[in-house]
Amino acid sequence: MEAKKLLVSSSPHMRSERTVTKEMLDVIIALIPTGLAGIYFFGMKALVLMIASVASCVIAEFISNKVMKRQSSINDLSAIVTGLLLAYNIPVTMPVWQTVIGAAFAIVICKQFFGGIGQNIVNPALGARAFLLASWSKNMSNYVAPGKVSAVSAATVLSGGEKPALLDMFIGNMGGCIGEVSTIAILIGAAYLVIRKVISLRIPAVYILTTAILLMVFNKSVDGIIEQLLSGGLMLGAFFMATDYTTSPVTKKGEIIFAFGCGLITSLIRVFGGYPEGVSYSILLMNLLVPLIDSKTMPKVFGVASKGAKDE
């Protein structure tokens, strides 16, 4: 009788009590300070957009699972995270119906089309933001500062125009997307994720540092560098979207390469591009390179059976 074929792989064989649901719950908790800041500075319309985005993502997830005959993934809470991040990436003036379309695009096209959680190749919220920006660019750029009909937007700050006081920029009292303006709220949430060991500081630190250095090099000046770092979506992107497990590298070396690439592309777009903000596009482009980065940085493992292994 032919012997059983056993494939034995080398240790370590890791086990963890962490589940996707627990990870997503931690991210939701970490996003609460940013959401509260958005509501405080932009009013109840911000809350309406958050609810619309989250509800639409959950519904789209439910329908997609039914249509594609997949096991329900509602309970893993990832759709809620996507909905919150999408809401944080749009201005408070965005129409609700366009937000709903963006949420559906994030779940159906960017996530479920590729097989669901863990198999998407780009961050769904950023993919939806790019879609909304291409579809309704005027609405996506219609920033309103707290308590004013019109105000200095993040794009204007990045373009080198009138700048709010640094303290206002740090706490979030300026124009911009709902979840991008308050650096202190973002940092509070990020600190929670680091303490809970959901994320490491490797990607955010390299991303932000690379952006800062290259902006100084490209602009040949250190003037306004703090304003550049506090403006736009750099902080939100670095801590909450570039660190997404599915769309970021699995090795430490890969994470550094990935983060450097994000910083490089962000800086190039901000300085030389026709659009003053490059965070979303930089992360999306680097998302597409993750399989290549992983293949080049994955360490060789000895003692693992090859795919075509045969008995002697």
Separation between Cα atoms, residue 130 and residue 278, nearest integer Å: 11
List pLDDT tens digits, range 6-30. Answer: 444 444 444 556 788 999 999 999 9
List pLDDT tens digits, range 138-160. Answer: 999 888 777 554 444 444 466 45
Coil vs helix vs strand at 294: helix
List pLDDT tens digits, range 195-204. Answer: 999 999 999 9
What is the domain partition of the chain in residue ranges?
20-297
List pLDDT tens digits, range 124-135. Answer: 999 999 999 999
Nearest of 160, 115, 186 to residue 271 by alpha carbon? 160
For residue 115, what are the CA distances in angstroms to 64, 69, 111?
A: 10, 11, 7
Residue 311 has pLDDT above 70, yes or no: no
Q: Please, are residues 47 and 84 in contact by the beta-carbon 8 Å criterion?
A: no
Return the CATH number of the domain spanning residue range 20-297: 1.10.3430
Separation between Cα atoms, residue 95 and residue 195, nearest integer Å: 36
Which token pair is 39?
A: 């509501």
